[in-house]
């Protein structure tokens, strides 16, 4: 499907469309949006994988237990990833990567508009780039006793472990302005 609205072109694409652009921007940050029980939130992620597991296209993300985002994903079992392309959102990424949704509504303060998703309830962000609608298939908390010692010392000395979420990518759209 391709539609024109206010000069915005939205195109449904394959889950691996523009994957090298996805990886290049991920290095600088992407937005993870959540929504559950009347609450919504957005945070920055830098760690993610796109691949194929259980014969399904999947997005794997790692979210620390201290994040406000975690409770919302655990409640709704879904999230979206918005990867800004051909636009500069580094200021907003830095902000959403340091301030918590526990303390303020980052959509309002950062003027981040929402774009309704097609297959899930959680919206994407209305900006040029790649947008993934993801439904959680599996989650597991990192077990420190099974983790490489150097990785453990580098990333988890404060005990704030990540939960790994493996989610099916049920829809991918490319937004071009």
Ligand X SMILES: Cc1cc2nc3c(=O)[nH]c(=O)nc-3n(C[C@H](O)[C@H](O)[C@H](O)COP(=O)(O)O)c2cc1C
Of residues 17, 21, 68, 164, which one binds ligand X by CB under 6 A? 68
Can you tell me the distance from the alpha carbon of 10 to that of 7, in angstroms, rounded to the nearest whole number? 10
Residue 46 tokens read as 């830098």
CB atoms within 10 A of CB 4: 8
Handedness of CA 113, 162, 61, 133 (dihedral sign): negative
Does 134 engage in binding with ligand X (CB under 6 A)? no
The HSE-up count of residue 7 (CA atoms within 13 Å, CB side) is 1
Is 45 or 135 the residue whose CB approaches ligand X more closely? 45
Does 89 engage in binding with ligand X (CB under 6 A)? no
- Near ligand X in 29-58, by CB under 6 A: 29, 41, 43-47
Least distance in Å: CB of 161 to ligand X?
10
Does 155 engage in binding with ligand X (CB under 6 A)? no
Find the radius of gyration of the CA atoms of the chain. Answer: 16
Torsion of CA 102, 154, 25, 68, to 10 degrees: -10
Does 167 engage in binding with ligand X (CB under 6 A)? no
Does 59 engage in binding with ligand X (CB under 6 A)? no
Does 62 engage in binding with ligand X (CB under 6 A)? yes
Binding residues vs ligand X (CB under 6 A) = 29, 41, 43-47, 62-64, 67-69, 94, 97-102
């Amino acid at each position: 499907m391709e539609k024109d609205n206010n000069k915005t072109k939205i195109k449904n694409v394959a889950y691996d469309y523009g994957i090298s652009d996805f990886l290049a921007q991920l290095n600088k940050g992407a937005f993870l949006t959540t929504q559950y029980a009347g609450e919504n939130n957005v945070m920055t992620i830098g760690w993610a994988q796109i691949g194929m597991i259980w014969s399904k296209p999947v997005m794997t993300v790692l979210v620390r237990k201290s994040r406000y985002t975690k409770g919302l994903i655990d409640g709704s079992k879904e999230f979206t990833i918005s990867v800004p392309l051909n636009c500069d959102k580094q200021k907003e990424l830095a902000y959403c990567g340091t301030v918590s949704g526990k303390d303020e509504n980052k959509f309002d303060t950062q003027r981040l508009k929402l774009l309704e998703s097609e297959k899930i309830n959680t919206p994407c962000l209305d900006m040029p780039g790649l947008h993934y609608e993801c439904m959680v298939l599996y989650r597991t908390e990192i077990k420190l006793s099974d983790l490489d010692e150097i990785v453990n010392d580098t990333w988890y000395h404060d005990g704030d472990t990540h939960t790994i979420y493996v989610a099916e990518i049920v829809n991918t759209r490319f937004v071009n302005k």
